[in-house]
Chains A and B, each alone.
Chain A
Amino acid sequence: MNAERRSLLLVGGAIISAMLLVGIYLAAGGASYTPEKTQDPCKHRAWRNPEGLQQIAEQFTLSALDGAACQLGVSRETLARALATPESRERFKKRYDISDAKLAKAVRAGLLRAVDDAEEAGALSPILAAPLRETLRSIPLDQAIELINNAESLLDNVEGFLGPAQSFLEQLLP
């Protein structure tokens, strides 16, 4: 084989090898090997057939997180981790430049959305949802902050998260 042919073979081999590698990795999912996208918290998320107080409360928590996250312009997951401990809450507020008032307002809006979602899912009767909404709306701002600050974490347990709403739910649920 002459020198020119060997040169062509080398360059051709390099091109084919490079294209093969890139093609195989693309076909194996290289372009889509990324973290799953989280859902927009402003979009409605259907409840999963909640049964019993514990599951309703869990769905209620997730709906409230969605609602509050939507208000704050962050993901539900980011807010969930932010509210896990007082320290993480402080880091979150600092990072996103969020005041206590803004956070409390967002959490209150989240709770209201959770009532809406519970009602829509049939977990809460419309007759009972109305007074619950009124109660949540009338929670003053400082009480909303108290609800956040006093709970070791909003996600610490369901009771801590629901706070005053929990007692309402227990009374109003069938």
Chain B
Amino acid sequence: MLVSFNLVMALAAVPAAHLARRVGPGRAAAVGLAVFAGAGLACAASDQLSTLIAARCVQAVGGALAVTAVLELLPATVGSERRAAALWATAGATGAALGPAIGGLLTELVSWQSIFLVQVPIAIAAAVPILAVARHEAATGVLSTELRQTGRPHFLANLALALVSAAIAGALFLLVLLLIEGWRLSPIGAAIVVSVMPLAALLGSRLDRLVPSARARAAAGAILVSGGLGGLALLPRAEVALTVPPQVMIGIGLALVLSALTETALSGRAPQAIHGGWTISARHAGVVIGILAVTPIFTHDIAQQRHDAIDAGTAVILDSKVPPLLKLDLAQKIESHLAGEKGKVPTIGPAFEPLPSDPEEHDQVVELREELQDQLNRGATHAFSPSFGLAALIGLLSLIPIGLARRVEL
């Protein structure tokens, strides 16, 4: 579902921008928001995965139309194309960081349908001021922006955007999975943990004003994203607190790099909607590439690590000093418990219930339980390491087009 939405967004962004230019950005944005809201309702009403995916694809088309058209409208509101591009880029970066946290909170507190339902009033609220522009366009037949020749898209900036988006998608996607599937946090717990990233992104967006060089911000951002991902690949314990420093780095980094590259891709190019469409396309194509690149790796690794961890835990039990019959009873309980977990990384505690009444055996079993859970935590954490490492590498690759961009421009 995640791939289909981003794939459609990547494919539809540039054609949507052209459409917005033809029919007028006000009307295009209004129609886009209406389609987005309507498809959101359809998503919430879906009772099958296929209809949900179809509705998400329609929503992506509406979103692409609205987002690219809005970029064409922004300069009139904020005063200049440069400020409009910066604002638009910052909004995009903040949205990317906020998404998983808000989604997790809504899923846990209300339901997964609420993620889509909440989008409807937001889309309507956004459409209200745009309707005035749309009415004006319809009444006068004059587009609010002048049609201009489209220049070539900024290839290097868009390539870097795609690469860094692939890395960031990996960070968000994998971290949420690590927390929920690996460390067995609840969705709300995971949402609270990953909210560190958008908070850090807000901090990063403030650095924009201090450092005017977009290239320096892009390079620093890509390095921070990759460094943070490197940290997540090398977590020394299965502790939530240890994800905070990498998340802070990724959050600051993504705010810096996404806004800097988007500004670079739009700078001096017209019309903004078309080039904005290219940046949207590059970012969402990057997300698709990122998810497709890491999914098979972590899917394989999590199965392997689960097996290795359970083997290591079983070895702890087999070699322990608990009485043989108790040992064998535990082995049976653990096997039955694992069968019920159907391939997930298990919480092993319930398999040890009830604990023996004999104080000595009780202590021995508690110690065994902790050792086995430690092995499972190790396996669950390590299963994500290669994927985080790959995402870090992809993030570092974005430094090549970022570095080349200046030479080309010179």
Contacts and interface: CB of A to CB of B under 8 A. Distances in A.
Contacts of A30: 233-236
Interface string B238-259: 0000100110010001000000
A171 interface: no
Given A14-B253, A76-B318, A22 B311 contact: no
Interface stretch (B66-74, B275-283, B323-331): B323-331
Given A13-B220, A33-B381, A58 B324 contact: yes
B315 A28 contact: no
A12 to B, nearest CB: 9
B375 interface: yes
Interface string A128-162: 00000000000000000000000001011110000
8 contacts: A7-B213, A21-B228, A29-B236, A34-B308, A34-B379, A35-B308, A35-B313, A38-B315
Contact of B379 (A3, A35, A54, A157): A35
B236 A3 contact: no
Nearest to B321: A48
B335 A81 contact: yes
A18 interface: yes
Contacts of A11: 216, 219-220, 223
Contact of B234 (A3, A31, A39): A31
B274 interface: no
B334 interface: yes
A18 B80 CA distance: 35
B235 A25 contact: yes
Contacts of B309: 35
A39 B315 CA distance: 9
A39 to B, nearest CB: 7
B309 to A, nearest CB: 4
Contacts of A38: 308, 311-312, 315
B211 interface: yes
A84 B331 contact: yes
Interface string A1-37: 0011011101101110111011001101111011111
A33 B235 contact: yes
B314 A157 contact: no
A17 B227 contact: yes
Given A25-B236, A30-B235, A155 B328 contact: yes
B230 interface: yes
B323 to A, nearest CB: 8
A114 interface: no
A38 to B, nearest CB: 5
Contacts of B207: 10
Given A14-B221, A22-B231, 10 more contacts: A10-B207, A25-B242, A26-B234, A28-B236, A29-B236, A35-B313, A62-B318, A77-B311, A84-B336, A156-B328
Given A38-B312, A77-B315, A156-B328, A33 B335 contact: no
Contacts of A31: 234
A3 B224 contact: no
B4 interface: no
A81 B249 contact: no
A33 B212 CA distance: 41
B220 A14 contact: yes
Interface string A39-81: 1000000000000001101100110010000000001111011
Interface in A81-113: 81, 84-85, 87-88, 91
Contact of B314 (A4, A14, A80): A80
A29 B238 CA distance: 12
A78 B211 contact: no
Given A10-B220, A26-B234, A156-B332, A3 B213 contact: yes
B191 to A, nearest CB: 23
A85 B338 CA distance: 12
Contacts of B212: 3
B226 interface: yes
B382 A34 contact: yes
Contacts of B325: 157-158
Contacts of A6: 210-211, 216
A34 B233 CA distance: 12
Given A33-B382, A38-B311, A81-B314, A25 B375 contact: no
A34 B382 CA distance: 6
Contacts of B335: 81, 84-85, 88
A45 B314 CA distance: 16
B192 interface: no
B285 interface: no
Contacts of B237: 28, 33
Nearest to B306: A35
Contact of A22 (B216, B221, B230): B230
A36 B339 contact: no
A34 B318 CA distance: 20
